[in-house]
Structure 1
Amino acid sequence: MRGLKKQRRIQIVVAAFAALAIATGLIGYAMRDGINFFRSPSQVVEEPPRPEEVFRIGGLVEEGSLKRGQGEVIRFNVTDGGASVAVTYAGVLPDLFAENQGMIGTGSYVNGVFEASEILAKHDESYMPKEVVDALKEQGVYQEANGS
């Protein structure tokens, strides 16, 4: 009788670990498309990602690079001071989007051009996303905003 209880406990523990492993695997599988890694323009130029990989890129909109094309297509370059990456975006840009301002885009890098599916601009005069600040500091380009 005692050996039967011990064997039953071992089976329950093994089943619990198996259920935990399956649940962890299912959560990871469900989140695989929702995780977008951040890359600076320098990192994209150094080691270009695969065309099917979706990631975020951020930096400053390069001065003089903003060009509006046919329809809603917008072209511009994003830079971190060390490298620039050409970006295309088909859609309406955020109101605060401008040259020499911080931005983050989500999309993929195809044939040397970042094709953005979403563009985010900073939401006030002093805010800049942490990833962009870190990338600009790494290149020695970041300047603190006045009053901070």
Structure 2
Amino acid sequence: MNRRRQRMLFVGLILGGVAVATGLVIAAMGENILYFYSPSQVQAGEAPQGAKIRVGGLVVDGSVRRGEGLKIDFSLSDGAQEVEVEYTGILPDLFREGQGVVAYGILDGRRLAAEEVLAKHDENYMPPEVAEAMELAKSGGKMPMPDADAEGGYPSEYPLQRGIVEKGAQGEGG
């Protein structure tokens, strides 16, 4: 084997090793990602069965039912739909009816078997995913447009809506 072939074989082995390592990292990350779903998405069947997910919303008034020991059942709502949650464990101190919570666990049918329940930490905070899901549910699936600023522009955190509005304002050719 001449030197050129040895070099090519060495480079090929390194590239193959990097490809295998990248594949293993991506596979490991995919197993540990927790996707967020709103109660409306769960009821529509968009959430995967048997996989760990996060579901967030407001605890429905009158839905909290305590069972034996530390078992508790309650419902989460995004304003349009509800999801039943069953949890066994100690709830956060801020957990109560009408409060925003995020529960993560495994979806079994239309019921979430929660492993952890997280409550918001003060009166003015709601997890961004929960707030957005509730806003989408209230608006029928359409995200409301932000108000224009003083110069007639839109905030930079709304690039998609800003582009649609700017194109619409300029006409079809614009």
Residue aligned with 2:68, SS: coil
CA-CA distance at 1:11 after TM superposition: 2.9
- TM-score, length-scaled by structure 1: 0.84
- TM-score, length-scaled by structure 2: 0.72
CA-CA distance at 1:16 after TM superposition: 2.6
| Counterpart in the other structure of 1:35 | 33
Q: Is the contact between residue 48 and residue 109 of structure 1 (CA under 8 Å) also seen in structure 2?
A: no
1:90 correspondence with 2:69: no
Number of aligned residues: 139
CA-CA distance at 1:34 after TM superposition: 1.7
Q: Is the contact between residue 105 and residue 120 of structure 1 (CA under 8 Å) also seen in structure 2?
A: yes
Q: Between the two structures, name the one with larger relative contact order (CA 8 Å, sep ≥ 6).
A: 1
Q: Is the contact between residue 103 and residue 122 of structure 1 (CA under 8 Å) also seen in structure 2?
A: yes
Residue aligned with 1:56, SS: strand
| Counterpart in the other structure of 1:44 | 42
Residue aligned with 1:139, SS: helix
Q: Is the contact between residue 104 and residue 120 of structure 1 (CA under 8 Å) also seen in structure 2?
A: yes
Q: Is the contact between residue 71 and residue 89 of structure 2 (CA under 8 Å) also seen in structure 1?
A: yes
- Structure 1 gaps, min length 5: 142-148
| Counterpart in the other structure of 1:17 | 15
CA-CA distance at 1:48 after TM superposition: 5.7
1:108 correspondence with 2:106: yes
| Counterpart in the other structure of 2:133 | 135
CA-CA distance at 1:70 after TM superposition: 1.5
1:37 and 1:14 map into 2 onto residues whose CA distance is 37
1:78 and 1:105 map into 2 onto residues whose CA distance is 9
